[in-house]
């Protein structure tokens, strides 16, 4: 189907669309935490980088990175249109992730980054979280 708007107008319209966050992935991780009795986590904690979950007592920040937005090596890819924009956007996202990890480490926190597709393997995710918490 052909778009009825010019690319400039479509871009303006899309820029006004607000995301709902990664609610589904966060809810899935909450299920995993509860299933494997992982406690002490908080959402929306005032921690640099705004992790999806923070374990303040263990100083562990957990991020669930979306395969598209963080350029997953397995599932990531560029859209067919406006490739230059998307290549730069994903590059900036990955650079920001590295900055967040370095800053948290400098401040005595440990970062755990999970891919969105990792959540399909609950036992493995729980094991990684528990290892990270025990390592502190």
What is the pTM (predicted TM-score) of this model? Answer: 0.82
Overall domain count for the chain: 1
- Residue 117 located in a structural domain: yes
- Residue 3 located in a structural domain: no
- What is the spatial distance between Cα 102 and Cα 23, in angstroms, rounded to a whole number? 26
pLDDT above 70 (res 19): no
Q: Average pLDDT of 37-65?
A: 95
- Residue 72 located in a structural domain: yes
pLDDT at 20: 62
- Residue 9 located in a structural domain: no
CATH code (residue 77): 3.40.960.10
Residue 129, classed as helix, strand or coil, is: helix
Q: Average pLDDT of 26-55?
A: 96
* Structural domain boundaries enclosing 86: 23-134
- Residue 118 located in a structural domain: yes
Beta-strand pair 60-65/110-115: parallel
- Residue 5 located in a structural domain: no
- Residue 28 located in a structural domain: yes
- Residue 34 located in a structural domain: yes
pLDDT at 89: 93
What proportion of the chain, given as a percentage, has pLDDT over 90? 66
Cα–Cα nearest to 112, from 125, 94, 95? 125
- What is the spatial distance between Cα 3 and Cα 76, in angstroms, rounded to a whole number? 25
């Amino acid at each position: 189907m052909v778009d009825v708007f010019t690319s400039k107008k479509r871009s303006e319209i899309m820029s006004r669309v607000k995301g709902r966050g990664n609610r589904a992935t966060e809810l899935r991780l909450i299920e995993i935490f509860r299933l494997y009795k992982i406690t002490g986590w908080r959402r929306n904690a005032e921690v640099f980088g705004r992790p999806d979950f923070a374990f303040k007592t263990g100083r562990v920040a957990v991020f669930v990175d979306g395969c598209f937005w963080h350029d997953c090596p397995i599932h990531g890819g560029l859209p067919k249109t406006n490739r230059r924009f998307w290549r730069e956007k994903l590059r900036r996202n990955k650079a920001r992730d590295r900055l967040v990890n370095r800053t948290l480490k400098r401040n005595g926190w440990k970062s755990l980054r999970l891919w969105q597709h990792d959540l399909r393997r609950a036992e493995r995710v729980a094991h990684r979280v528990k290892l990270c918490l025990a390592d502190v």
